[in-house]
Amino acid sequence: MLIHIPIIILTSLHPMAIADAVPKFDIARECQGEGGTNEMQKRCAADETQARDQLQTEWIQFGPSAKAQCNKVTSMDGTPSYVEFLTCLEMERDVSTEREANKTSK
């Protein structure tokens, strides 16, 4: 009889969303792939770090489908970029906002 208690407890819990976090990209690899001088690579790393930090603070603003789509598009060439990922998400958000505005104005 007591053996069933853990099963009952587990089945009565509300489902929780799996942790949704900003993906981990290799900034050094991305910036080395871009080439250029050492100074250009440092600037690239600074831009990537800034974009990653911005993504972390704004992450909940973006919908799951936009996150999945932009992650897929950004990762196509094997060197994903936080700058490209953030730009894609912002564009997706803006298009969605525009569609909603058009729906409500009609």
Express each pLDDT in 56-93 by its tens digit.
999 999 999 999 999 999 999 889 999 999 999 999 99
The single-letter DSSP state of residue 75 is: T
Residue 22 has pLDDT above 60, yes or no: yes
- 14 domain residue, yes or no: no
Range of the domain at 65: 24-105
Q: Sign of the CA dihedral 89, 92, 95, 96? A: negative
Reported as a single tens digit per residue, the pLDDT across 32-57 is 988 889 999 999 999 999 999 999 99
- What's the mean per-residue pLDDT of the chain? 84
Q: Which amino acid is at 90?
A: E
Q: Indicate the number of domains in the chain.
A: 1
Asked if the structure places residue 9 within a domain, the reply is: no
User: 11 pLDDT band (50/70/90 cuts)?
Assistant: very low
